[in-house]
Structure 1
Amino acid sequence: MVSLEESVITEAGLISDRACVGKRAVTLIQQEHLAAIGSYLGQGPVAPEIPRRNLVVSGINLTALKGREVQVGEAILRLTVICAPCSRMEEALGKGGYSSVRGHGGWCAEVVRPGRVQLGDVVQPVD
């Protein structure tokens, strides 16, 4: 994982990420859930690169926006399905890692409109 201050979301997902066209083109996780995951493990927030999501957002409830469109920078994404944890979470977080991520692993999204995204961009529902 590489943390970037700026990138471009194409129809296939983030540039330099493995292409994952369709419902899973981009993945998002809430910053607040990183603290929840860590709390379940008896530690502080987990590092954002551990769950391996494309975008870390804060101040917005992604679960409440399932099926809706959100704008991130110039891009518009439609939240599609929950990102289920993978078996690597036990290795990355230790015993209980998989269970700690269940329900807190973020969301997958399809790209409605490609565009540039930058660190600090506001994430907001499209009405």
Structure 2
Amino acid sequence: MRGGCGRLLQLRPLPRGPEPRQGRGRTRPDGCGGELTTLSIGELTARHARNGRIDWIGLRPSRRAPLESVPAVDITPDGLAGDHARPGKRALTLLQAEHLPVIAALAAHAEVQPETLRRNLVISGLNLSACRGVDLALGTARIRVTGPCAPCSRMEAALGHGGYTAMRGHGGWCATILTPGRIAVGDTIRPAP
């Protein structure tokens, strides 16, 4: 990455204190009369270009049942009200909206509908891959992204030959519920303060 005067800018981890150093950084002269701000890896990973948005909500009333699209739902300590998900680290599943066209292309489809992929929420605008271990506020609830949600073998039947492989790396994310609340399509999703 180039800094002021075209010099190469190096990013190095800075020592972290007990509190996150978010937004503070360190400044040093850039050799051209200005200053460069050096951010720690923690500061860089805490920065998001914008908040996200809930684009779609789906409930799985029972195992293997078709998903039901709903405009709003309560989040309980065990997951979405009316969803059969297991409580804990996989209580809620999220899918990146920007990955839908990628999955469709890799599965040789013109498009893929969210209900086909069997995730609870479709989120746009916020890079969920950068949110692992991060607390997120959505509607009146709070969740923590716990890890990737690997595709299941059912994707081969749902998307056709190669569907499982098309989903690999794009299967979404699992989350645990920190604070129950209510969410609706159109609500903002953002890193919690």
Structure 1 residue 33 corresponds to structure 2 residue 133: no
Q: 2:85 touches 2:92 (CA, 8 Å); kept in 1?
A: no
- Secondary structure of the 1:50 match is helix
The reply to whether residue 52 of structure 1 matches residue 118 of structure 2 is yes
Larger Rg: 2
User: Which amino acid counterpart does residue 95 of structure 1 have in structure 2?
Assistant: H
* TM superposition shift of 1:78: 0.1
Per-residue CA deviations over 1:4-58 (Å, capped at 9, x if unaligned) read: 0000000000000014111011100011111110011222331000110111110
Is contact 1:82–1:108 with CA below 8 Å preserved after alignment?
Answer: yes
1:86 pairs, out of 128, 143, 152, with 152
Aligned mates of 2:181, 2:169 — CA distance in 1 = 28
Aligned to 1:126: 192
User: Match for 1:108: what amino acid?
Assistant: C
Could you tell me which residue of structure 2 aligns to residue 98 of structure 1?
Answer: 164
> Per the alignment, in what secondary structure is the counterpart of residue 49 of structure 1?
helix
Equivalent in 130, 139, 153 of residue 64 of structure 1: 130
Which structure carries more relative contact order (alpha carbon 8 Å, separation 6+)?
1
Show the counterpart of 2:40: none
Give distance in 2, aligned partners of 1:28 and 1:73: 15
The answer as to whether partners of 1:78 and 1:109 remain within 8 angstroms in 2 is yes
Percent identical pairs in the alignment equals 50
2:141 to 55, 75, 93: 75
Separation in structure 2 between the aligned mates of residue 14 and residue 45 of structure 1, nearest angstrom = 26
Equivalent-residue separation in structure 1 for 2:98 and 2:111 (angstroms)? 9
Aligned equivalents of 1:80, 1:70: Cα separation in 2: 11
Q: Does 1:113 align with 2:187?
A: no
Indicate whether 1:7 and 2:100 are aligned: no
Unaligned stretches of 5+ residues in structure 2: 1-66
Cα distance in structure 2, aligned partners of 1:123 and 1:105: 19
Structural mapping, 1:15-26, within 5 Å: 15-26=81-92
The answer to whether the 8 A contact 1:38-1:46 is kept is: yes
Q: Structure 1: 5+ residue runs without aligned partners? A: none
**Count of aligned residue pairs for this structure pair:** 127
